[in-house]
Amino acid sequence: MTAQTIPEKTAVERPPAATVGPIAWIRGNLFNTWYNALITVAIAWALISWLPGLIDWAFVDAVWGRAAPEACKAAEGACWAFIREKYRLILFGTYPYEEQWRPLASILIFVTLVAASGYRKFWSRKLVYVWGAALLLICLLMWGGVFGLPLVETRLWGGLMITLVLSVFGCGIAFPIAVLLALGRRSNLPIIKALSVTYIELIRGVPLVTLLFMASVMIPLFLPEGLNINKLLRAQIAIIMFAAAYLAEVVRGGLQAIPKGQYEAADALGLGYWQKMRLIILPQALKISIPSTVNSFLSTLKDTSLVVIIGIFDLMLATRAALNDAPWRTYFAEAYVFAALVYFVFCFAISRYSQWLERYLGRGAHR
Amino acid sequence: MTDTSRRPGTSAPDGTPPRRSMLNDAGVRAVLFQIIAMAIVIAIGWYLVGNTLHNLATRNIQTGFDYLSREAGFAIGETLIPYNATDTYARALWVGVINTLKVSLIGIVFAMLIGVVIGVARLSSNWLLAKLATIYVETLRNIPVLLQLFFWYGLITEVLPAPRQALQPIEGVFLSNRGFKMPAPADHPAWWGALIALIVAILAVRFLLARARRIQAATGDRPKTLIPSLALLIGLPVAAWAVMGAPLALDMPELRGFNFQGGISVSPEFAALTLGLTLYTAAFIAETVRSGIQAVGKGQWEAAAALGLKPGVTMRLIILPQALRVIVPPTTSQFLNLTKNSSLAVAIGYPDIVSVANTTLNQTGQAIENIALIMLAYLTVSLSISAFMNWYNKRIALVER
């Protein structure tokens, strides 16, 4: 090949196919193969035929603000007026109307605390005291009866607060029990091990609904005559028992991931069992299992909705109660979308946090 | 790693017996500790049983399983085995167990199918498809399944018209607030013949695949199996059906009075439960499928491409067998979750075991026996599913030297 064979004309060669810019992006991500092109067209067609209708229903033709049920009947779209009318019932249940700032304040304290606990910066012993103080404050706010706050019995509590109470206390109390169960399961004392395994497998093998039934009909039978635990507490016990079994397996996973050398090193130092666990093994095991623990909290939050079945007035049942009002009966979709949105905000935040945490904690592992 | 909590210092290094009290001896302490634990458990159990017996006596609640042979006296909306209100409680509970199994089985099959599709779609190079799959997974995973069940149930019972104005998307298929109706082939031996032929065809295909594998192992050439397999699977049943008389009569649903008669019917409760459980569990299965496929190293794809394998073959022969090892254990838990979540049927009125046992409990007051029966049923199902999946897992697990 000599230089002459390259004619000057090649300068008018077509420009290379674009590799940047929107057209290239569309070509690369939507039409890169014939079947992808087909899929893209099919999805686009489906979206074009469904999305406008959905948007019209949810926004354009919807009834916003305050409106009578008749106005909703006349409109074609969603009836958000129903939510406007009932949001207090859905969020606060039958808590006295005048006092609803109290559950609202408690919810805000809860959310702030949980959010703050997520930051590495705040992970210290102080956090435990802050939690203790805050829970005391929440109890004070919710029950009242002192400082001029009227007393509100738990049977009047309801809505989002119940959901949060059940899940936060459920996980909080279940966690130490879970750690003990996990240690028991890994113990080489046969009786302790057998007890832990039986508990974990029995609870994990049955649905939460069964435990809730058990809590609602059997706990009264178990207790001595005259002693009556209220319904909310019984449901809480069932949720704690359930969450503990699942968390125990998460913690066990963490324990199994600790290399044998760590145990041997602790033994070599002459540490006793509890010292070894508290100072060497558990801190590492719990750190490894934090992301799965957070996921476990997420499922507990969702599972609290099952207390509907035994008639506890949580967010879910409050939503159903709002639908019992005859003129609004038909707006079930709006009610469920609203409740779903509330659950989604919490759960999505938790799941994103768990993913972030996994990356954050994994940083040290991938130097 | 199990022996790590053996305590050091049970005897002094120089062999002389340690001068310490019995309480400091690890062996003694272990025994003591266990005796205390056992004693606490027994004491609590004793206390609870004592209370319970006392309460049962004062409230005049009968005990024992005698009630199982008494007449139940309540009707059950849908049954797979013949049942009416004069049958015994035992039979009613058995109907509930079968209904639970039916929902779980159908749910598992559909959840697996949808889950695999969504999981693969999330990895698609098509941006639109991948994003839609992500939205599906994130939305459905983060909303309680009970809420979804209520939503689907509301949709079916409130939005769909009454049977008289039933929607008819395809000739013979009716959608109404009383459920779905589909035409079913009228009873004829030929259909059973076709079913038997299908089973024979599946066995034949298995034999064909085994032979193909043997030939591939021996010679390196894999005989074509796809077309003969499809021919067997479709051809044999059709042939059996045609030979036995090729009946075409269908049992069409007809509007009589206030509801439809004939055909296959799906109740709103069953439809809502299956739909809700399937879509919810599919979101979780999609995630395990995605992570399983992603867990297979990129090098495997590249190596297969270097050997000149087509993407479809690479997926089937190289990626999937490796991904399955990662996918199977978490998917087992999802199957178990679906089965356990089917207990939510009680909230929308589908007569599963929990719902039937709950009715029985309310009628007889025998809480302990009924809840024990529910637990027994679920434990049996859970243990069977895990046993089967463990067997399958062992079969596909990596055999290391």
Q: What is the mean pLDDT of chain B?
A: 85
For residue A255, the chain B residue with the least C-alpha distance is B1
Beta bridge mates, B185: B250
For residue A196, the chain B residue with the least C-alpha distance is B37
Confidence of residue B3 (pLDDT cuts 50, 70, 90): very low
Confidence of residue B400 (pLDDT cuts 50, 70, 90): low
Alpha-carbon span A214 to B369, nearest angstrom: 11
ipTM: 0.87
Report strand pairing: B184-185 vs B179-182.
unpaired
DSSP state letters, A16-85:
PPP-SSHHHHHHHHTSSSHHHHHHHHHHHHHHHHHHHHHHIIIIIT-B-SS--HHHHHHSSS-BHHHHHH
Judged by DSSP in three states, A342 sits in helix
Instruction: Give the mean model confidence (pLDDT) for residues A3-23.
Output: 63
DSSP state letters, A189-247:
-HHHHHHHHHHHHHHHHS-HHHHHHIIIIIHHHHSPTT----HHHHHHHHHHHHHHHHH
Provide φ and ψ at A359, rounded to 5°. -65, -45
Q: How close does chain A come to B228, measured CA to CA in Å?
A: 26
Best CA proximity match to A142, nearest among A90, A97, A89, A104: A104
Instruction: Give the mean model confidence (pLDDT) for residues A129-154.
Output: 85
Amino acid at A76: E
Q: What confidence score (pLDDT) does residue B276 get? A: 95
Q: What confidence score (pLDDT) does residue A28 get? A: 78
Alpha-carbon span B251 to B182, nearest angstrom: 9
Q: What confidence score (pLDDT) does residue A67 get? A: 79
Which of residues 49 through 108 in chain B touch A, CB cutoff 8 A?
A: 51-52, 54-56, 58
Which of residues 18 through 47 in chain B touch A, CB cutoff 8 A?
A: 30, 33-34, 37-38, 41
Asked if B343 and B355 count as a contact pair (C-beta separation under 8 A), the reply is no
Alpha-carbon span A47 to A58, nearest angstrom: 15
Tens digits of residue pLDDT in B345-357: 999 989 999 999 9
Q: What confidence score (pLDDT) does residue A247 get? A: 94
Confidence of residue B2 (pLDDT cuts 50, 70, 90): very low
Q: What confidence score (pLDDT) does residue B117 get? A: 93
Q: What confidence score (pLDDT) does residue B242 get? A: 84
Provide φ and ψ at A281, rounded to 5°. -75, -55
Tens digits of residue pLDDT in A54-94: 888 888 888 887 878 788 888 888 888 888 888 888 888 88
Chain B residue numbers with beta carbons less than 8 Å from the beta carbon of A45 are none
DSSP state letters, B259-311:
EEESSEEE-HHHHHHHHHHHHHHHHHHHHHHHHHHHHS-HHHHHHHHHTT--H
Q: What angle do CA B2, B3, B7 make, to 5 degrees?
A: 135
Instruction: Give the mean model confidence (pLDDT) for residues B182-199.
Output: 82
Q: What is the mean pLDDT of chain A?
A: 86
Alpha-carbon span B83 to B77, nearest angstrom: 10
Q: What confidence score (pLDDT) does residue A5 get? A: 55
Q: What confidence score (pLDDT) does residue A1 get? A: 46
Q: Do B8 and A190 make contact, defined as CB atoms within 8 angstroms?
A: no
Alpha-carbon span A212 to B111, nearest angstrom: 26
Best CA proximity match to A297, nearest among A257, A246, A254: A246
Instruction: Give the mean model confidence (pLDDT) for residues B247-260.
Output: 72
Confidence of residue A219 (pLDDT cuts 50, 70, 90): confident
Contacts of A303 (CB under 8 A, 6+ apart): A208, A239, A242, B144
Choose among A224, A267, A344: nearest Cβ to B51. Answer: A224
Cα-atom radius of gyration of chain A, to the nearest Å? Answer: 28
Tens digits of residue pLDDT in B48-71: 888 888 888 888 777 788 888 888
Length of chain B counted residue by residue: 401
Please count the other Cβ atoms lying within 10 Å of the Cβ belonging to residue B219.
9
Best CA proximity match to B98, nearest among B366, B331, B381: B381
Tens digits of residue pLDDT in B270-324: 999 999 999 999 999 999 999 999 888 889 989 999 999 887 788 888 888 888 8
Give CA separation, B63 vs A313, B91, B369, in Å.
32, 19, 8
Instruction: Give the mean model confidence (pLDDT) for residues A227-240.
Output: 89
Instruction: Give the mean model confidence (pLDDT) for residues B111-126.
Output: 92
Choose among B38, B142, B346: nearest Cβ to A347. Answer: B142
Judged by DSSP in three states, B9 sits in coil
Chain A residue numbers with beta carbons less than 8 Å from the beta carbon of B30 are 189
Chain B residue numbers with beta carbons less than 8 Å from the beta carbon of A186 are 2
Q: What confidence score (pLDDT) does residue A288 get? A: 85
Calculate what percentage of chain B has a pLDDT beyond 70. 93
Least confident of A44-48, A169-173, B267-271, B328-332: B328-332
Region of A270 please: left (phi>0), alpha (psi -120 to 50) or beta.
left
Choose among A189, A207, A344: nearest Cβ to B33. Answer: A189
Q: What confidence score (pLDDT) does residue A341 get? A: 94
Higher pLDDT, B257 or B37: B37
Judged by DSSP in three states, B160 sits in coil
Which of residues 146 through 165 in chain B touch A, CB cutoff 8 A?
A: 146-147, 150-151, 154-155, 158
B interface mutation test: which of A210, A312, A329 has the most B CBs within 10 A?
Answer: A210
pTM exceeds 0.90, yes or no: no
Q: Is B361 on the interface with A (CB under 8 A)?
A: yes
Residue B168, pLDDT above cutoff 90: no
Q: Is B383 on the interface with A (CB under 8 A)?
A: yes
Residue A4, pLDDT above cutoff 80: no
Confidence of residue B245 (pLDDT cuts 50, 70, 90): confident
Q: Do B368 and A272 make contact, defined as CB atoms within 8 angstroms?
A: no
